[in-house]
Structure 1
Amino acid sequence: MNRKLISVILIILTLMVNQSSAQEQNKSHVKLGIAGLTHGHVGWILDAMKKGDVEVVGIAESNREVAERYAKQYGFPMSLVYPTLEEMVAKTKPEGVTAFGPIFDHLHVVEVCAPLHIDVMVEKPLAVNGEHAQKMARLARENGIKLVTDYETTWYPTNHLAYQMAVDEKKLGEIRKVIVCDGHQGPKEINVQPEFLAWLTDPKQNGGGAVVDFGCYGANLITWLMQNQKPLTVSATLQTMKPDVYRKVDDEATIILTYPGTQGIIQASWNWPFSRKDMQIFGRTGELFAASRHEIDYRLAGEDKETKKELPERLAPYNDPFAWFEAVIRGDIIVSPTDLSSLENNLIVVEILDAARESASTGKVVHL
């Protein structure tokens, strides 16, 4: 084959690759709706909308004052906002809906969207309790929709390296202990939005205080590491260290999970001196500390010091919840039952949180 022919082939291949890349970049966005604006994390999707990274066709929010504040902040027209979810989905026909309201309202979102075959992503946790979670799961399965749960920590590259090392490659040996710490100084102390604080500290709307707000992260990560194995037992202690601030809910939670040969400890708090989302894994022959989204250190058998790494972001769409949700809706990504966002994982998360509240109230270990 002469050089001229080889050059022509290379040019054609390059053009084909570039065209494919351009088509991927120009692929139209999935039409998304937002159910609720009262969750403090809603700024993530509103910011993505402002940048043109997602297409939001409608917003359901009954609190017009809240909607107007966000409309001014992010520059979207109030014509996008509808007073009810039912009206929003009927008039805008989204392909997927993201839920950013009270956890108690997640069931209603699925009740409205599932019969219309609209996929749903809820902001963590899946549900306020097991009863709601099971109803949501049944509706999702009967109507064939994707029902997924978003956690900030799902997109941390450090957590995925931790899983790779501990589970896939077994570099730490058998996992003996996992400690997950999440939280901050307290929602009031860090000045969350008043509408967010109102339901975050309501035991009906949120299901509890720090035990739900931050306990769900540890339950999600440990369930993932244990590949959806349920714990044998759950025991928990809940405290309210600032009763003058949090009169109705706990602000401090410690949950202990036991598995054959493994223990999981979840420390969820509104009393940390600073914000944190970190995880430690101790195996028989090594240990690992995922200190933040990008920082991780580990020490393996035979090593006399720790290895420290700063990781880059994961490749798209695995670095962004909304790009990932779009890919799930399109069918480009199939959610595995053991994935962090899966329905199966998050049903176990809610079961753990239910058991933790029961243990704390009765003073007894709960067997699952």
Structure 2
Amino acid sequence: MAGNTYGKRFQLTTFGESHGEAIGGVIDGCPAGISLDMDLIQFELDRRKPGQSKIVTQRKEADEVRFLSGIFEGKTTGTSIGFIIENTNSKSKDYDHIKDIYRPSHADYVYDQKYGHRDYRGGGRSSARETACRVVAGAIAKQVLKELKVTAYVSSVGDLTVTKLYHELDFSEIEKNPVRCADPVIAIAMEDLIKTVKKDGDSIGGVITCVIQGVPVGLGEPVFDRLDAELAKAMIGINAVKGIEFGRGFAATRMRGSEHNDEILVGGTTKTNNAGGIVGGISNGMDIYFNVAFKPTATLMKDQMSINKNNEEVIVQGKGRHDACVLPRAVPIVEAMASIVMLDMYLEQYGKQGIDK
């Protein structure tokens, strides 16, 4: 599989490069007879695509998905779902200046060392453009698991952080601002910060919070296929992600057990949800919530020191199109990967014919 496939029962294989003819994927294991709303799939792609606001990269791509197989008369057939998304605005010449140069904190150097050859146009296979394929699969997974609600939002940009807990926020605010923050007041400050950073030719990171509601008890397998482990793998596999925490996460290291433990109430719910909805690697029926840390974008509009193929010191010129902050466009990617994991776990627990229990 060479690292291009994710999932065991609901499985996605992606292909293509940032500046190739197209990107695309093959989805295996999708249950048959699922009515698909193509507009909803395109809506998710539109949330991720470039050029949607002044605070993201201005590369113009329609990101229109074309399905080639696995769907007949608007329903899944149970066979492989093949799809492609054409690249129409690549401008490969913008990358001629780094043909023999390795950009700091990009995958340029490690790809060249691993394969002895690399596609330098926009990062090739290492480009985040590939994540559009994950969004397609995630949009389909969402429509299979209609009883689940997967919601992600930007909860911090740099030092600006949403202080309210997820259940205190109005999720309808997320799509009302270009940052995709659930707090409309902090969203304005975040947008201003990103604009300032972009004007400086720099970049900035932050955190995306993801909440999964309507989860039944029992999803996740011992010992190595734990639900939190699978979600963590899926999130760490997203470009620019450097960390993840579930529930109280690292804050739990500063708590005592008597403070952190979630007391179980009659009926199986818990008094608190410090565990973030997963105990022993298995869902406990409470909301699953976790935070995903994104590093600053590696591409800057500033000159940086690096080396070339001859191991000579060079200056990398800052030019081209980039996101000063990847978080706004990463929100649908986080939701997509979470949805793919949850459907994979559903199919393991209930089987392809018993998904509705």
Q: TM-score, normalised by structure 2?
A: 0.26
Q: TM-score, normalised by structure 1?
A: 0.26
Query: Does 1 or 2 have the higher relative contact order (CA < 8 Å, sep 6+)?
Result: 2
Larger radius of gyration: 1
